[in-house]
Amino acid sequence: MPDYVLRHKKTKDIIYKGIFDCELAFIDNAKLDKVDFSYADFTNWDLPGVDFSKTLLIGAVFDSADLQGADFSHAILNNTSFKYTLLIETNFTKAQLAKATFLECQMLKTSFQGAFLDSASFKDIGFDSVNLWLADLRYTSFENVKFDTSCLTLLCYSFNLDADDRLVSQLFCHFARLRTNRCSPVIRYAHRILLSSWPGSWLKNLFGQKYRINEIDEV
């Protein structure tokens, strides 16, 4: 398929031979890696399993779309919108997602491995086994995001991450429960002082008191 450009259009009104059929569904095995879908509107589309890998999707809108199992690996998705989107087992490996917006999405085993998420925004989402390994999270905003069954990378890629009360209290909860008996005396002392004096003495149990009530023993 040659290069095609579909910009600034209401994509669900487009019927294009080899890309879309009149049922507004993707034709099986359509090759999309050279199609420019920048600013296309996929709101409410059912797109499970679609291969968007290496596709240009700057400013595209996927609000309320079904993207279960869709592949966005290596795609360029800067400034895209994913609001109320189904992202179960969706693959964003090494995708460009700068300033992308994720709001109240359903995520399960979603992969952002190696993705560029600089200044992206995640709000009101449960990260259920979400893969953030090697993701660039610098200046990424997390508001009311539950990391309970996912891993937040401690690489320098997470420096300057924009956190909220939940994430800070959860990280401090884990810090407070580290065993420091093999650390140097000065580290053990610093750890003890931080936890025994205010506000550390309050913050160490805040996560269990506010977000995981009756699930975490106080220290």
| Listed ranges 7-21, 44-58, 82-96, 186-200; the one with the highest mean pLDDT | 82-96
What is the chain's mean pLDDT, rounded? Answer: 85
More confident residue, 19 or 150: 150
Q: Which residue has the tokens 């189904």?
A: 86
User: In the chain, where are the structural domains located?
Assistant: 1-163, 165-219
pTM: 0.82
- For 198-218, the pLDDT digits (tens) are 999 999 999 999 988 888 889
Q: Give the mean model confidence (pLDDT) for residues 175-179.
A: 94
pLDDT at 26: 46
Q: Is 60 exceeded by the pLDDT of residue 5?
A: no
Options 3.30.70.100, 2.40.50.140, 2.160.20.80, 2.60.120.10; which CATH number does 1-163 get? 2.160.20.80
